[in-house]
Amino acid sequence: MGFCQQQLERLRPLWSHMLDHRFLRQTRDGTIAHATFATWMRQDYLFVEAAIPFIAALIPKAPREHWALHAGVIGMLEKELELFRERARAAGVDFTALRPSFTNHAYIQFLLATAYRASYAEAFTVLYAAEKAYHDSWTAVKEGLDPGSPWWPFVENWAGEGFAGYVARLETELDRLADAAGPAERAAMAELFELTTRYEIAFWEMAATGEGWPGAPRTETGAPAEKGN
């Protein structure tokens, strides 16, 4: 069994907990409040934007054969941002004055710190875990969501064949990197896999609760109180 499957096996309870999050269940069932989904859209737009410098920071550490992969991901992320803007216009989601929530800010800093400070294999682990988390999460939503829903294009984006193929490629490459890693690096990779999974759960929770910044008045979160994040 490769490294990725080993980790998914080891983290199965945590992974299942993520896939069973009420944000995903309510999105799947069409019962999610518009304002709650809008919170996720605003926050994930900022996350996807931050993923571009994350990927770019991997390139100097990457083997030459991985440059085209990462360059392709940057193009994919730009298209994703366009999808968010288009859906925001179509569904009346306000994208002005976006500011990251506490959890989103922490996750973004974690991504960038990993890209700059960790080894390539370690940072690649975070990339794989985050992409696999979204592929599996939106696949769970796909199981029940009405294709006429305004949120369906997000299902098509992350649960579609193109993204599935991309995640499979990442899995192959991460398994290879893990095979070449020594025990200490492999242990660090396993820890980062778990931490990324915990951030993914925290992100759904943040979207579901409309969390602001601890201790701050709601209006200091960067969005008017009535809009949430």
Confirm or reject binding of residue 37 to ligand MP5 (CB under 6 A): no
Q: Which of 37, 124, 134, 193 binds ligand MP5 (CB under 6 A)?
A: 134
Interaction pattern, residues 49-68, with ligand MP5; x per rule: CB under 6 A: --x-----------------
Indicate the residue among 131 and 211 with the shorter CB distance to ligand MP5.
Answer: 131
In whole angstroms, the minimum distance from the beta carbon of 127 to ligand MP5 comes to 8
How many residues line the site for ligand MP5 (CB under 6 A)? 12
Return the residue matching tokens 């931490």: 195
Confirm or reject binding of residue 45 to ligand MP5 (CB under 6 A): no
Stretch that binds ligand MP5, among 43-51, 86-94, 116-124, 212-220 (CB under 6 A): 43-51
Confirm or reject binding of residue 84 to ligand MP5 (CB under 6 A): no
User: With helix as H, strand as E and coil as C, how does 4-52 read?
Assistant: HHHHHHHCHHHHHHHHCCHHHHHHHHCCCCHHHHHHHHHHHHHHHHHHH
CB atoms within 10 A of CB 121: 22
Say how far apart CA 54 and CA 185 lie, in whole Å. 20
Distances (CA, A) of 178 to 1, 4, 37, 115: 12, 9, 36, 17
> What is the sign, positive or negative, of the torsion defined by CA atoms of 88, 76, 196, 116?
negative
Stretch that binds ligand MP5, among 59-67, 94-102, 116-124, 129-137 (CB under 6 A): 129-137
In whole angstroms, the minimum distance from the beta carbon of 8 to ligand MP5 comes to 16
Say how far apart CA 72 and CA 127 lie, in whole Å. 14
Confirm or reject binding of residue 171 to ligand MP5 (CB under 6 A): no
Confirm or reject binding of residue 138 to ligand MP5 (CB under 6 A): no
Confirm or reject binding of residue 181 to ligand MP5 (CB under 6 A): no
